[in-house]
């Protein structure tokens, strides 16, 4: 299954475009904020080839797909018609969960887009530190200055980058938010702090702080600005709103941030950093060991995002993060456990899975290892946690720290260069070897190799004239009929000019070249999901058949133009009830194929799916017979 096919099937299983309020991704996961989680087919998702598992945490529904997450995300973007204003007005009850869940959702949405750039900057910074320490490069050389600008610019201008992601999350003006952040790092403002100048704003004293590299001040400021934005925008006439609203926001928010929000954010950041300094100062070995042992558990539940701003804040305030260093043994311990499974198992399928998971683990992607192997086998996961604690204790004793964010892996080791770097290398080596040895000695329940089962050819689409044998009919599911949703020419699915449908990966069925634009329900049942663009819908019959009706090919790109949806999600429908109206002539004139695939997306439920042996069909006539 290619990425496009997988993306479309994932979108169907999460309830369609209309059920997606927001979508972001991290290193291995698609992170959906959904309007209604009850519309998700979790079992169906986890059975998809390419989906490792699903996780519900932090107010998000997460689909773990591994290293190809960015490619699948790009394919999903083509199908999802995200509209910020619509989303802002269509927030579901799912988004109003527990406070900790909503907080993690905010953190992950704000920091996820920056992780790649942060890791890259950190690696350059670490390599430069190695070059300077060994005399390979002089800090004053122009080459060194240029490379330092590449490594330091992200952290210096971090408030401006966070302003972009925070504005998107809080649904406010991105450019006004970036301008607000720019005011905090404006050269004259920075000079006020550096020169210890006395500053006032129309008689009000301003406590100048250093805002370069900070996290909390700009996030708090953008959040407050989003509240002010929503409060006043409806009182400004739309003819002048584009000018007057940004004017008011900047005029109010820049002084307000420098007077109150900024200093509060800086003091809060310093307080958080001091708490962790005291914890690690009290007993760095125990603190680091416990954090390393719990890290993969945090990752499983998506709670690791709660530590991201803390780690960035540590780096900003203290110059390095001991918390980040403690996570590295946990990653390599999982890799060690998977290596032991790879060497010990006799199950060919597990051995193949372990070989891929091992490679991805040493490069920092542990989800395939955790969800696919160690957690399922249980004992390897426990061995990895024990080894993580031992390695974490060594790292804590050495006092090593990270100078940047980045997924712990062989590639990102330079971000840990500095005091305690040798201790960190020893710690991750111990955690890797100890985890592998413990897993090999303790062992695990090796899955029994399953004998191949014969393929039931009758599951394939067959003409309706083929009558099943009496013996098979005795074991068949209750027969069900799918009626034609529209009159037109019947086309075999394999002749549809779209690989997703013609290959059968979505399911079994036929297609119709419609004669009119009135699409009616082919079943008695429920509307499971619809698309905001109106081009498709997913139905569930009373007998359990899942039916996808897709009006035209690539018509999602029309973004709802020429379509009028007449039903809504969760609505009960009867056979012949109008689902959607579309203007076929306009769709064709726009250059789109109007063929309508009618597909049973759960064909595994049936022993046979047969279609009418006619070239044409009428709306309401039997199109498919299921048994």
List the catalytic residue out of 304, 535, 538, 550: 550
Q: Which helix (H) or strand (E) holds 609?
A: strand 609-611
Q: Which residues of 114-141 are buried (b: 16+ CB within 10 A; e: fewer)?
A: beeebbbbbbbbbbbbeeeeeeebeeee
Rg (the chain; Cα; Å) = 29
Which residue is it, tokens 């056979």? 575
List the catalytic residue out of 25, 26, 535, 582: 26
Tokens representing 54?
A: 């699903």
Which long-range contacts (C-beta less than 8 Å, at least 24 apart) are formed by 68-71? 68/3, 69/25, 69/26, 69/27, 69/28, 69/29, 69/30, 70/25, 71/3
What is the Cα–Cα distance from 22 to 34, expressed in whole angstroms? 7
What is the Cα–Cα distance from 435 to 385, expressed in whole angstroms? 8
Q: Which helix (H) or strand (E) holds 539?
A: strand 536-541
What is the Cα–Cα distance from 25 to 367, expressed in whole angstroms? 14
- Those residues whose C-beta lies under 8 Å from the C-beta of residue 238, and which sit 6 or more positions away, are none
Report the sign of the C-alpha dihedral through residues 600, 601, 605, 606, in that order: positive
User: Is 26 marked active-site?
Assistant: yes
What is the Cα–Cα distance from 341 to 384, expressed in whole angstroms? 12
CA angle in degrees (0–180, nearest 5) for 585-590-594: 55
Query: Are 558 and 531 within 8 A, CB to CB?
Result: no
Which long-range contacts (C-beta less than 8 Å, at least 24 apart) are formed by 32-36? 32/60, 32/61, 32/62, 32/63, 33/59, 33/60, 33/61, 33/94, 33/95, 33/105, 34/61, 34/92, 34/94, 35/90, 35/91, 35/92, 35/94, 36/92, 36/94, 36/569
Query: Are 127 and 416 within 8 A, CB to CB?
Result: no
Burial of residue 613 (CB within 10 Å: 0-12, 13-18, 19+) is: exposed
User: Is 582 marked active-site?
Assistant: no
Picking from 546, 549, 548, the residue whose alpha carbon sits closest to that of residue 606 is 546
Which residues are the active-site residues? 26, 550
């Amino acid at each position: 299954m290619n990425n496009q096919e997988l993306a479309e099937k994932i979108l169907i299983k999460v309830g369609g475009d209309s059920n997606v309020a927001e979508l972001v991704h991290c290193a291995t996961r698609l992170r959906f904020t959904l309007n209604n989680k009850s519309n998700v087919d979790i079992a169906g998702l986890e059975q998809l080839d390419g989906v490792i598992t699903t996780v519900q945490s932090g107010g998000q529904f997460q689909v773990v797909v591994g290293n190809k997450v960015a490619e699948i995300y790009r394919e999903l973007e083509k199908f999802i018609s995200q509209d910020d204003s619509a989303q802002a007005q269509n927030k579901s009850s799912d988004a109003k969960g527990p406070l900790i869940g909503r907080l993690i959702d905010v953190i992950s949405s704000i920091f996820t887009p920056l992780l790649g750039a942060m890791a890259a900057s950190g690696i350059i910074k670490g390599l430069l530190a190695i070059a300077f320490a060994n005399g390979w490069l002089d800090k004053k050389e122009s080459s060194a200055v240029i490379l330092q600008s590449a490594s330091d610019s992200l952290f210096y201008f971090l408030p401006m980058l966070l302003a972009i992601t925070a504005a998107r999350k809080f649904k406010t003006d991105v450019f006004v938010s970036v301008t607000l952040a720019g005011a905090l790092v404006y050269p004259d403002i920075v000079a006020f702090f550096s020169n210890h100048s006395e500053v006032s704003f129309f008689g009000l004293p301003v406590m100048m702080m250093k805002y370069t590299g900070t996290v909390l001040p700009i996030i708090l400021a953008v959040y407050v600005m989003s509240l002010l934005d929503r409060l006043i925008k409806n009182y400004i006439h739309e003819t002048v709103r584009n000018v007057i609203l940004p004017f008011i926001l900047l005029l109010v928010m820049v002084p307000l941030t420098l007077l109150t929000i900024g200093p509060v954010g800086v003091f809060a950041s310093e307080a958080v950093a001091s708490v962790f300094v005291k914890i690690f100062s009290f007993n760095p070995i125990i603190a680091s060991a416990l954090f390393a042992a719990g890290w993969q558990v945090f990752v499983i539940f998506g709670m690791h995002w709660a530590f991201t701003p803390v780690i960035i804040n540590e780096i900003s305030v203290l110059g390095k993060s001991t918390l980040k260093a403690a996570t590295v043994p946990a990653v390599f311990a999982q890799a060690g456990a998977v290596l032991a499974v790879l060497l010990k198992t006799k199950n060919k399928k597990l051995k193949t899975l372990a070989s891929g998971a091992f490679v991805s683990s040493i490069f920092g992607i542990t989800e395939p290892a955790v969800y696919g192997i160690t957690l399922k086998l249980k004992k390897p996961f426990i061995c990895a946690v024990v080894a993580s604690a031992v390695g974490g204790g060594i790292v804590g004793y050495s006092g090593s720290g990270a100078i940047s964010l980045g997924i712990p892996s062989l590639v990102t080791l330079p971000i840990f260069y500095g005091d305690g770097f040798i201790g960190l290398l020893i710690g991750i080596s111990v955690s890797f070897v100890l985890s592998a040895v413990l897993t090999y000695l303790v062992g695990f329940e090796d899955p029994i190799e399953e004998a191949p089962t014969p393929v039931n050819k009758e599951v394939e689409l067959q003409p309706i004239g083929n009558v099943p044998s009496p013996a098979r009919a005795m074991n068949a599911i209750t027969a069900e009929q799918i009626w034609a949703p529209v009159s037109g020419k019947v086309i075999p699915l394999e002749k549809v000019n779209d690989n997703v449908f013609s290959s059968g990966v979505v399911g079994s069925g036929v297609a119709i070249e419609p004669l009119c634009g009135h699409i009616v329900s082919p079943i008695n049942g429920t509307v499971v999901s619809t698309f905001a663009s109106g081009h498709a819908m997913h139905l569930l019959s009373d007998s359990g058949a899942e039916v996808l009706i897709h009006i035209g090919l690539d018509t999602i790109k029309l973004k709802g133009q020429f379509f009028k949806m007449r039903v809504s999600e969760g609505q009960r429908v009867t056979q012949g009830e109008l689902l959607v109206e579309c203007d076929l002539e306009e769709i064709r004139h726009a250059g789109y194929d109007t063929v309508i695939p009618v597909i049973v997306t759960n064909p595994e439920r049936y022993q046979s799916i047969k279609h009418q042996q006619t070239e044409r069909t009428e709306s309401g006539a039997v199109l498919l017979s299921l048994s």
